[in-house]
Each structure stands twice: as structure tokens, then as C-alpha cells.
């Protein structure tokens, strides 16, 4: 796993990160070139993506199913230190139901990743979402978080 040096200080309830990272550069194709030891992070979790309808009761309340999903995801995710923002995130959702919308799991998964890795989803500037159809019981969520380079 890649290692990053972050000094984290609490200031008036907000977390500030002082990044001690080399600047990123781009290659001739516009892709990010990461200095030694700095790479995007990614992981696959073998868990069924939770739809928005099953995550929320009415407008404001999370369902018990959402809380189970959140706990299971947090326990399944490895320890990572994130690259610096802004972020590009790539999701791949393995759904067993062909009728599932491609965006069914985005909000819930993003919320869990934000909680687990301590970043704010307002730092995500670009997203790529893929939907795959898999056999029942083989559902999964795969993601990659990387620094967005202009």
C-alpha cells in the first residue's frame, strides 16, 4: 500500500490536512503521473449495493438496512491514506438485478467512504460509474479514488 504523510490537527471542530506531498505531473495523454510511493487507492467489497429507496425512510431517516450496510462496508474496507483532493472516483457496481439503475448505490457508498476515510464528498469533482450484471449472491462494489489532475 502507498504511504502518505499527513499532519492532522483539529481546529474549531474541523480537520485540516497539511499535505507534505510532491506536486503531481501529467504525461502526454493527460494522465496523472504519481511520484514514487503515491498512487491512487482502490478496493473491491463483496457486498450488495444498497438502493436509495431501501436506505431512507421518508425524507430524513436512515433505515435499519442502511445501518447494517454501513457497518458491513466500514468493516470490510482496508486502511488507506488518501491522495490529496480534488478527487476523481471510479465506481463499479455488480448488481444481480438487471432492473437496477446504474446510480442506485452511489450516494450510500460515497457516504460510507467519506465516513471511513475522513474526506468530504464536495472534494469529488469527477466520477465514472459502471454497472455490471452478476449472478445472485456475487454482488460487489469496486472503487478507485485518485487525485484529479487538470
Q: What residues does 142 pair with on adjacent strands?
A: 44, 92
- Decide: 22 and 38 in contact? Cβ < 8 Å: yes
Q: Dihedral, CA atoms, 128, 132, 138, 143, nearest 10 degrees?
A: -10
Give the range of the structural domain holding residue 101, as residue numbers without chain letter: 39-147
**Is there a domain that residue 114 lies in?**
yes
Q: Rounded CA gap, 14 and 6, in Å?
A: 15
**pLDDT surpassing 60 at residue 2:** no
How sure is the predictor about 106, in pLDDT bands with cuts at 50, 70 and 90?
very high
Number of folded domains that form the chain:
1
pLDDT, tens digit, 9 for 90 and up, residues 27-68: 556 555 554 445 566 777 787 777 776 777 666 788 889 899
The CATH number of the domain where 77 resides is what?
3.30.1330.70
| pLDDT higher at 11 or 99 | 99
pLDDT, tens digit, 9 for 90 and up, residues 63-93: 889 899 999 999 999 888 888 889 999 999 9
Average pLDDT, the chain: 75
How sure is the predictor about 94, in pLDDT bands with cuts at 50, 70 and 90?
very high
User: In terms of Cα–Cα distance, which of 101, 97, 90, 95 is closest to 129?
Assistant: 90
**Is there a domain that residue 14 lies in?**
no
**Is there a domain that residue 8 lies in?**
no
**pLDDT surpassing 80 at residue 126:** yes
User: Which residues 6+ apart lie within 8 Å of 58 measured at CB?
Assistant: none
Amino acid at each position: 500500500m502507498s504511504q502518505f504523510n499527513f499532519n492532522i490537527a483539529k481546529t474549531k471542530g474541523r480537520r485540516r490536512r497539511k499535505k507534505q506531498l510532491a506536486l503531481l505531473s501529467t504525461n502526454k495523454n493527460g494522465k496523472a503521473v504519481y511520484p514514487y510511493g503515491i498512487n491512487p487507492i482502490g478496493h473491491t467489497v463483496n457486498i450488495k449495493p444498497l438502493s436509495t429507496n431501501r436506505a431512507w425512510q421518508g425524507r430524513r431517516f436512515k433505515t435499519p438496512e442502511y445501518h447494517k450496510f454501513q457497518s458491513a462496508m466500514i468493516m470490510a474496507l482496508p486502511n488507506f491514506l488518501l491522495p490529496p483532493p480534488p478527487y476523481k472516483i471510479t465506481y463499479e457496481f455488480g448488481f444481480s438485478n438487471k432492473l437496477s439503475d446504474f446510480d442506485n448505490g452511489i450516494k450510500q457508498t460515497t457516504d460510507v467512504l467519506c465516513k471511513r476515510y475522513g474526506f468530504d464528498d464536495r472534494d469529488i469533482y469527477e466520477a465514472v460509474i459502471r454497472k455490471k450484471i452478476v449472478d445472485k449472491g456475487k454482488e460487489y462494489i469496486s472503487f478507485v479514488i485518485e487525485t484529479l489532475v487538470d
